[in-house]
């Protein structure tokens, strides 16, 4: 066991996967000599050289297009988008090409590519460095979407993503890059994509979160516990394919649900989760489901803490739902 933060866990996993498989390639803006804007890829170029850790131009469409070509020829590229907000110039390559190759080729071609991107607020990055675009990619058939909350999960999920034969969006909550540390095994463990985790058990209300918001949800659950409400907190880990079985099992036990995410409420992933829950567990619900989310506005710079669904907004939702 070694104590790691999220940056160290991701860096170490990239290194071990590159050591194990020469087809694993890292590419992106400043990923080589600089080591990435958050230093997540620091040191990789020294070990693997500029042929496998490639500094690219500032052209996200070109980065992803190049990675798709690599993947189709049998490599396993791991392109980095410097901030998830910059992924939109590559949107067409991801949703029109990478997501559809398996289908359009009748399974003859796959795109084993893992797109890494820091997501979310909490670092005063303003509206161009704080967005959470996961719902746009979940909406697209053929893509898998992952968002770990901690170093242990990040290491296991990234290993599974790199080894997966389909394109994976691997969103990293930059707010907790260095804020969360924990003991992480150095062995070759992997966490299967599509498995959620119950991190806090409770009987009164189910709270679903992912990424940095998991810790806000856990803090709110602890505060609610002091007022006699026991919340069961689920970390989705993989957003798509979503582990609906774990969710419905919890909701059918508690009869109540609160969903927390940073992205705006309108058409956010929380809406799809509520649809899945009501389709499967409608008769178990004893209160209207609630969403605690970002607002339907651009992400603000000066009012960041008013935008984010932090503990002070989640706790009342848990209490109101439990006491409905």
Q: How many Cα atoms occupy the beta-carbon half-sphere of 84 within 13 Å?
A: 25
Query: Does residue 261 carry a catalytic annotation?
Result: no
Q: Compute the distance between CA of residue 179 and CA of residue 204 in angstroms, rounded to an integer.
A: 30
Q: DSSP of 210-276, one letter per residue?
A: -TTHHHHHHHHHHHHHHTT--EEEEE-SEEES--HHHHHHHHHHHS-EEEEEEEESTT-HHHHHHHH
Q: Are the C-beta atoms of residues 117 and 147 closer than 8 Å to each other?
A: no
The torsion region of residue 248 among left (phi > 0), alpha (psi -120 to 50) and beta comes to: alpha
Give the active site residue among 127, 129, 139, 312.
Answer: 129
The C-alpha angle 103, 117, 52, rounded to 5 degrees, equals 80
Cβ neighbours of 12 (radius 10 Å): 18
Name the CA radius of gyration of the chain, rounded. Answer: 19
Q: 3-class SS at 119?
A: strand
Annotated catalytic residues are 129
């Amino acid at each position: 066991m070694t104590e790691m933060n999220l940056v160290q866990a991701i860096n170490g996993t990239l290194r071990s996967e590159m050591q194990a498989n020469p087809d694993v390639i890292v590419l992106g803006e400043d990923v080589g000599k600089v080591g990435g804007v958050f230093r997540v890829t620091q040191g990789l170029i020294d070990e693997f050289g500029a042929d496998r850790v490639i500094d690219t131009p500032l052209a996200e469409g070109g980065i992803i297009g190049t990675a798709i070509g690599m993947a189709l020829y049998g490599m396993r590229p791991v392109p980095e988008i410097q901030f998830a907000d910059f992924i939109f110039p590559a949107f067409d390559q991801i949703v029109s090409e990478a997501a559809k190759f398996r289908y359009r080729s009748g399974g003859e071609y796959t795109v084993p590519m893992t797109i890494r991107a820091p997501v979310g607020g909490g670092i005063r990055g303003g509206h161009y460095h704080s967005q959470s675009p996961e719902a746009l990619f979940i909406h697209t058939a053929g893509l898998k979407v992952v968002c770990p909350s901690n170093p242990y999960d990040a290491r296991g999920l990234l290993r599974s993503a790199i080894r997966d034969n389909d394109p994976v969006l691997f969103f990293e909550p930059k707010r907790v890059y260095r804020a969360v540390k924990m003991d992480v095994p150095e062995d070759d463990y992997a966490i299967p994509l599509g498995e959620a985790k119950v991190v806090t058990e409770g009987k009164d209300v189910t709270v679903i979160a992912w990424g940095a918001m998991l810790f806000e949800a856990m803090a709110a659950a602890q505060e609610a516990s002091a007022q006699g409400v026991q919340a069961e907190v689920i970390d989705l880990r993989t957003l798509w394919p979503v582990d609906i079985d774990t969710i419905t099992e919890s909701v059918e036990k508690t009869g109540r649900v609160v969903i927390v995410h940073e992205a705006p409420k309108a058409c956010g992933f929380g809406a799809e989760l509520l649809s899945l829950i009501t389709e499967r567990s409608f008769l178990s619900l004893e209160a209207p489901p609630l969403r605690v989310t970002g607002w339907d506005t651009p992400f603000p710079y000066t009012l960041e803490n008013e935008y984010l669904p932090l503990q002070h907004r989640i706790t009342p939702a848990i209490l109101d739902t439990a006491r409905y």
